[in-house]
Amino acid sequence: MNTNLSQLLSRIEFCPPVATADFYELLAQFVLNLVVLLIISRALYFKWNKKPEYLFAQIITGVIVFVICAMLRWVQLELGLVLGLFAIFAIIRFRTINVPVKEMAYLFMVVGISAVNALLRISQCVHWIVFANLLLIAVTWILETTFFSKVLSRRTITFNDTGLLKPSHHQLLLNRLKEITELNIVRFEIGKVDYVKNHAQIRIYFTNGGNGSFEETEIGNDED
């Protein structure tokens, strides 16, 4: 019995002590990962999207994922438990709000790059770590500057003329919305329509013409 216990304990890898090569290597990787998270979240995401709550979520999520993956180096866990740790995101799903697709993509990016920075060792895979980080930053910057350089604000309004909701009248509807709101509306989406009460919910997307920005708050739970 004692022999089996000794053999089991001998196979367990504990975290390395402080002031060792492994510790300093992990510390360097943490600093690198934090710098990359700040570039992605603060310099890229926040510059074009201006949503501090998602900025906070991205940085904290990246740090947590890095710590979990770093601990997996020395604590032997079965594959099922490891996958279960990352399945937490699928369970939580930010139930308190409807998270837009773009924000979920940024969260997935910080999770992925944090896992790469934690699991790969600088002493063995420094070129792959640098390549992965620079590639992700470059692709994100290109996409933001190419497709999302023109920031759009959005707001949901109630429109009391369902006669203009017909596809053939959409240009008239767009002109009417611009006249009512005095905003430079680029596009709109028709939501719930009540033909009995003669009103509809319309989400408008507009550019900030120097008069300030007002962004609607996404509320409500996800519908499964």
Give the model confidence (pLDDT) of 129-187 as tens digits: 999 999 999 999 998 888 766 667 788 899 998 888 888 889 999 999 999 988 888 88
Number of domains, the chain: 2
Alpha helices in 120-206 (DSSP H): 122-147, 170-181
Within this chain, do residues 39 and 126 fall inside the same structural domain, yes or no? yes
Within this chain, do residues 136 and 121 fall inside the same structural domain, yes or no? yes
Within this chain, do residues 21 and 68 fall inside the same structural domain, yes or no? yes
The answer to whether residue 175 is domain-embedded is yes
In sequence order, what are the residues at sequence separation of 6 or more whose Cβ sits closer than 8 angstroms to the Cβ of residue 166? none
Cα–Cα distances in Å, from 43 out to 13, 55, 167, 221, 223? Answer: 38, 10, 40, 30, 33
In sequence order, what are the residues at sequence separation of 6 or more whose Cβ sits closer than 8 angstroms to the Cβ of residue 21? none
Give the model confidence (pLDDT) of 77-94 as tens digits: 555 555 666 666 555 555
The answer to whether residue 219 is domain-embedded is no
Domain that holds residue 179: 152-207
Q: Which amino acid is at 167?
A: P
Within this chain, do residues 94 and 77 fall inside the same structural domain, yes or no? yes
Within this chain, do residues 67 and 167 fall inside the same structural domain, yes or no? no
Residues pairing with 154 in the sheet: 205
pLDDT score for 77:
56
The answer to whether residue 122 is domain-embedded is yes
Give the model confidence (pLDDT) of 7-42 as tens digits: 544 554 556 666 778 788 888 999 999 999 999 999
Within this chain, do residues 66 and 11 fall inside the same structural domain, yes or no? yes
- Spatial separation of the C-alpha atoms in residues 154 and 215, rounded to whole Å: 6
Within this chain, do residues 128 and 173 fall inside the same structural domain, yes or no? no
For the chain, strand residue ranges (E) read: 152-159, 184-194, 199-207
Within this chain, do residues 40 and 129 fall inside the same structural domain, yes or no? yes
The answer to whether residue 217 is domain-embedded is no
Task: Kindly state the tokens that stand for 73.
Answer: 């180096």
Within this chain, do residues 23 and 64 fall inside the same structural domain, yes or no? yes
Q: How confident is the model at residue 115 (pLDDT cuts 50, 70, 90)?
A: confident
The answer to whether residue 132 is domain-embedded is yes
Within this chain, do residues 10 and 94 fall inside the same structural domain, yes or no? yes
Residue 206's SS3 state is strand
Within this chain, do residues 72 and 102 fall inside the same structural domain, yes or no? yes
pLDDT score for 40:
93
Give the model confidence (pLDDT) of 44-54 as tens digits: 888 877 788 88
Last residue of a domain, one of 96, 131, 147: 147
pTM score of the predicted model: 0.64
pLDDT score for 39:
95
